[in-house]
């Protein structure tokens, strides 16, 4: 069995380390690397990997949105989240987006390989620390209506919000998303109305807090 893997992380040193370790495994081949979420989506389409190892906090398009887009178009691709975040909201939204595994970056390499082999059997893999978070979430029976950026905003509005929070001007966002400036302005107005936040500074804080982007 040859498992084709795509690496998605905005830190080259992390990608280099993962590639070196994974390519020593006889059943795994690294077919590509991406440094942001949008590139990850594009390479998933182009390279058709069996598994994407996905960071969450990436520029341009975060790992949660990238996972959602990949799984929507290619449900056979398995996404293994590899993140420094163990917060319940990150875990919950990543699994809702379609990830088949969630591990923390301080895990042993053997655990990552185990996760890859597990998801290839159409099973879910959660590292012990993450499993505890998921179980605690169910025990607490958190209300499904708990508002978050993922329930309040549309997919496109979240993309616009992330790009705004990352300092891109309206014209840049329009060019980046291949839409008109007026469309971006409409999205921005809708975002501010839905969130009841009316300054870019506060929107940026909100985007960071909700996991759309990082500092």
What percentage of the chain has pLDDT greater than the value 90?
77
The half-sphere exposure of 111 on its side-chain side, counting CA atoms within 13 A, is: 15
What whole-number distance in Å separates Cα of residue 103 and Cα of residue 53? 10
Residue 159 predicted with pLDDT over 90:
yes
Range list of H helices, 48-108:
63-73, 88-97
Instruction: Quote the pLDDT of residue 110.
Output: 92
As given in the structure block, the two tokens for residue 62 are 């975060």
Stated pTM of the model: 0.79
pLDDT in tens, 84-111: 888 888 888 999 999 999 999 988 899 9
Instruction: Quote the pLDDT of residue 134.
Output: 72
pLDDT in tens, 19-60: 999 999 999 999 999 999 999 999 999 999 999 999 999 999
Q: 175, 134, 168: which is closest to 59 by C-alpha?
A: 168
Place of tokens 């996404």: 79
CATH numbers and ranges of domains, the chain: 3-140 (3.40.50.2300), 149-209 (1.10.10.10)
pLDDT in tens, 111-133: 999 999 999 999 999 988 788 77
Instruction: Quote the pLDDT of residue 140.
Output: 63
What whole-number distance in Å separates Cα of residue 83 and Cα of residue 80? 10
Q: What is the DSSP string of 98-129?
A: T-SEEEETTS-HHHHHHHHHHHTTT--EE-HH
Pairing relationship of beta strands 3-8 and 51-54 according to DSSP bridges: parallel
Task: State whether residue 8 is helix, strand or coil.
Answer: strand
């Amino acid at each position: 069995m040859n498992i084709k893997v795509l690496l998605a992380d905005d830190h080259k040193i992390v990608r280099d380390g993962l590639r070196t370790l994974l390519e020593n495994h006889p059943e795994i081949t690294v077919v590509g690397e991406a440094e942001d979420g949008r590139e990850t989506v594009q390479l998933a389409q182009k390279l058709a990997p069996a598994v994407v190892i996905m960071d969450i906090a990436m520029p341009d398009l975060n790992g949660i949105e990238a996972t959602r887009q990949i799984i929507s178009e290619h449900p056979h691709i398995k996404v293994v989240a590899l993140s420094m975040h163990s917060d319940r909201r990150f875990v919950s939204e990543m699994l809702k987006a379609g990830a088949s595994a969630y591990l923390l970056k301080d895990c042993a390499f053997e655990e990552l390989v185990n996760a890859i082999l597990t998801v290839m059997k159409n099973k879910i893999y959660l590292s012990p620390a993450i499993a505890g978070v998921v179980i605690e979430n169910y025990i607490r029976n958190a209300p499904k209506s708990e508002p978050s950026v993922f329930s309040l905003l549309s997919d496109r509005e979240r993309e616009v919000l992330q790009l705004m929070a990352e300092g891109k001007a309206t014209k840049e966002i329009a060019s980046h998303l291949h839409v008109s400036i007026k469309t971006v302005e409409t999205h921005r107005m809708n975002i501010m109305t839905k969130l009841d936040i009316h300054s870019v500074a506060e929107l940026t804080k909100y985007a960071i807090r909700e996991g759309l982007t990082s500092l």
